[in-house]
Chains A and B, each alone.
Chain A
Amino acid sequence: QSALTQPASVSGSPGQSITISCTGTSSDIGYYNYVSWYHQHPGKAPKLMIYDVSIRPSGVSNRFSGSKSGNTASLTISGLQAEDEADYYCSSYTSGNTLVVFGGGTKLTVL
């Protein structure tokens, strides 16, 4: 069982917007603004899409945005494109001896 909870799957049509949630606890998402989001295509390494809750690395489309409320972080993808179809993972810095926790992943299907 993953430390952070994500929906197993989400779907949307091209041009639409979708949101993926990531729920943690007051020891990780609720305490630190160190939430990151990654997408992963089959057979590839994950790619960083959002860090520190809402910051996009250079080169990442502004169609990707992140937010946080309480113990839940969210990734929103607007203007869905076929190339967005991938697995998405959230992660958070956490307190104690466990440095980092990941979500279980969400499969995004572009219909």
Chain B
Amino acid sequence: QLQLQESGPGLVKPSETLSLTCTVSAGSISSRSFYWGWIRQPPGKGLEWVGSFFYSGTTYYNPSLKSRVTISVDTSKNQFSLNLSSVTAADTAVYFCARHSEGPFDLWGQGALVTVSS
């Protein structure tokens, strides 16, 4: 069963860059027809799509975050990463990585809480 696991610092200082990595096991991120994405959820609030990449290499970002977000891929390690620059307290959230198609996000990581605070 394919699994996803987020990892990275749980605390980031304001104005710095948030970096998270999603490791995919028991499956390949190079699989055709899938997107691999990041979704975040501020404490007590709803889900917000952050961005995704398609197996072909095309990346897509939430327009509200686009100027600060980069998603990169390391196929040799079966990992993909999220970088969010110039963070503020509003970026405090649980960050999920997930696999999806045009429709559903069918496989999710357990989530990683990232707090932005000095």
Contacts and interface: CB of A to CB of B under 8 A. Distances in A.
A100 interface: yes
Contacts, number: 67
Interface residues of B, number: 24
Given A45-B96, A97-B60, A99-B35, A105 B105 contact: no
Interface size class on chain A is 20 to 34
A36 B46 contact: no
Given A101-B49, A102-B46, A102-B47, A51 B106 contact: yes
B83 interface: no
A74 interface: no
Nearest to A90: B47
Contact of A32 (B66, B102, B105, B106): B102
A52 interface: yes
Contacts of B96: 45-46
Nearest to A103: B46
A36 B105 contact: yes
B60 A93 contact: no
A38 B46 contact: no
Interface of B: 35, 37, 39, 46-49, 52, 60-63, 66, 96, 100, 102-106, 108-111
